[in-house]
Chain A
Amino acid sequence: MRFMLLVKARQAAGETAKPPNPDWLETMRSYNDRLEQAGVLLASGHLHPASSGIRIGCGAYGDSTDIEEGLRGKAGADVASFALVDVRSKEEAIEWAVRLPDVGRIGVGEIELRRVKEMPDIF
């Protein structure tokens, strides 16, 4: 089963997200390495902060309306890092998630675990 681990930085209400600090990046790098060592990591990455993100508005098919820079309070806005893992159960995904170390020091607010759709649930 594939799960997306969405690691969100702690943010005060209304605060703009900042780029991940070196502590965050190093902790995630080492954590991803452990996932890799366990043979469960498929992909990982860190997202540039929401303030440099772009929103593409959707009108009718194929017509994009406005393109807006900077995101705040929208889906994925506060996700700083992600890891896509392939594990045997939801509980295993949770166990991995709670093993992210130094969450207080690096400023993790929340980890959201989302299960990736499998055929035939996709279309």
Chain B
Amino acid sequence: MTDSRIQRTIDAVWRMESAKIIASLTRMVRDVGLAEDLAQEALIAALERWPVSGVPDNPGAWLMTAAKNRALDLFRRNKLRDRKYEEIGRDLNTRQEEDWDAALDDNIGDDLLRLIFTTCHPVLSTEARVALTLRLLGGLTTDEIASAYLVPEPTVAQRIVRAKRTLAAARVPFELPPKDELAARLSSVLEVIYLMFNEGYSATSGGNWIRPMLCEEALRLGRILARIAPAEPEVHGLVALMEIQASRFKARVGATGEPILLMDQNRVLWDQLHIRRGLAALEQAERIGRPFGPYALQAAIAACHARARQASETDWTRIAALYDALAQVAPSPVVELNRAVALSMAFGPAVGLEIVDGLTEEPSMKNYHLLPSVRGDFLMKLGRKDEACAEFKRAASMTRNSREQELLLKRAAECAES
């Protein structure tokens, strides 16, 4: 094997195994920062030994054993006769290697779950959670995380260091959250994953190649989570939402890099594998039988679109009902706006206009150009051309995107001339 292939193989093995190793180590040494350091030391050992001895048959076990041995060394050398270290050291010492493998297999889902609850702990800022999760669960290097977020590498490194310190200082236990905190803590995890996905999803084409990777990481993490926390409908809901959104990658951007709206996309380019996976995940959420939360509802809406083989086949009535539900569960002006559009498609523009008129005083909508744009569309459909024209012009003035401006002014002109 060439040196560069070995290097790339080690990178691949690290990405496949590091999360499990760090999770298991954290359970043993009870500090996520220490666990990562030990895992990193094992990686360094691999980088030194494998080019010479070859990649071992079970690379994951090799790394785990190397990390464990370093943990033992650390506790032996530790001068502090702190009872905690003694206990942990003794515990590590008495186990046989077979026990480790067995313990790893038995507990790994549990440990991974604890790790992701830890990296997404609400005591950390959102950016810290994202960086720490990508690092410890995704196995990404600091460089890769920095590239994805277009920030300097030292900034990410600092963020991660501080995050670990914060967790230690807050004495965050390596436990699953208690039942009464579970919903909130899970919500925090899902938020981080979806943030990652959106960061990758909204990147423009021809840009940073790392950006799609963020989507893939998010999807992968979501799928892993769905296996280790299968009783949570929102987890399946999030996976469903991401799979279905991912299905539109090829159709979202035009030849010259311009974004294409959902209703205008060439549905042949929609990835059916992703759609099927998304629909299956949604089904899993349904089977659990608990009411849908915001992710599952958004996924259900996305599924309606995905099932329509042509735009004209869209089940707008169902989408409108889903938006009604979403407005109850996660109300926001943006949801209201989307609800208005759905209702207008199902029941006519007058219904939509009524809802939108209720939003015009909303402070958060003051600079949101889609509001007058949507209002203009309803007015035009109702034959109120002059008012529609005024709204499109207003919308055009509120957006800085030249292509959008062009489209809006074109619509204004169409109203004026008829």
Point out residues on A near B: beta carbons under 8 Å. Answer: 36-40, 42-43, 84, 86-92, 94-96, 119
Contacts and interface: CB of A to CB of B under 8 A. Distances in A.
Contacts of B15: 88, 92
Nearest to A119: B250
Given A37-B227, A91-B9, A96-B16, 16 more contacts: A36-B223, A39-B220, A39-B222, A43-B273, A86-B219, A88-B213, A88-B216, A89-B8, A91-B8, A91-B11, A91-B12, A92-B15, A92-B16, A94-B9, A94-B12, A119-B250
A38 B16 contact: yes
A43 B16 CA distance: 19
B227 A36 contact: yes
Q: Which of B12, B59, B216, B224 has the most CB atoms of chain A within a 10 A radius of its CB?
A: B12
Contacts of B59: 95
B244 to A, nearest CB: 14
Interface string B281-312: 00000000000000000000000000000000
B64 to A, nearest CB: 15
A88 B12 contact: yes
A39 B11 contact: no
Nearest to B20: A38
Contacts of A91: 5, 8-9, 11-12
Contacts of A40: 220
Does more than half of chain A's interface fall in helix, strand or loop, or is it mixed? mixed
B159 interface: no
B39 interface: no
B287 to A, nearest CB: 17
Contacts, number: 48
Nearest to A33: B227
A119 B221 CA distance: 24
Interface in B6-53: 8-9, 11-13, 15-16
B7 to A, nearest CB: 9
6 contacts: A37-B224, A38-B16, A86-B219, A87-B12, A89-B12, A95-B59
B70 interface: no
A43 B224 CA distance: 16
A96 B12 CA distance: 10
B277 interface: yes
B247 to A, nearest CB: 11
Contacts of B277: 42
A32 to B, nearest CB: 13
A104 B9 CA distance: 24
A86 to B, nearest CB: 6
A113 B273 CA distance: 19
Contact of A38 (B9, B224, B273): B224
A84 B221 CA distance: 18
Given A91-B12, A95-B13, A84 B223 contact: no
Contacts of B222: 39
A14 to B, nearest CB: 34
A84 B12 contact: no
A95 B8 CA distance: 11
Contacts of A36: 223, 227
Nearest to B7: A91
Contacts of A43: 273
Given A37-B227, A39-B223, A42-B273, A95 B216 contact: no
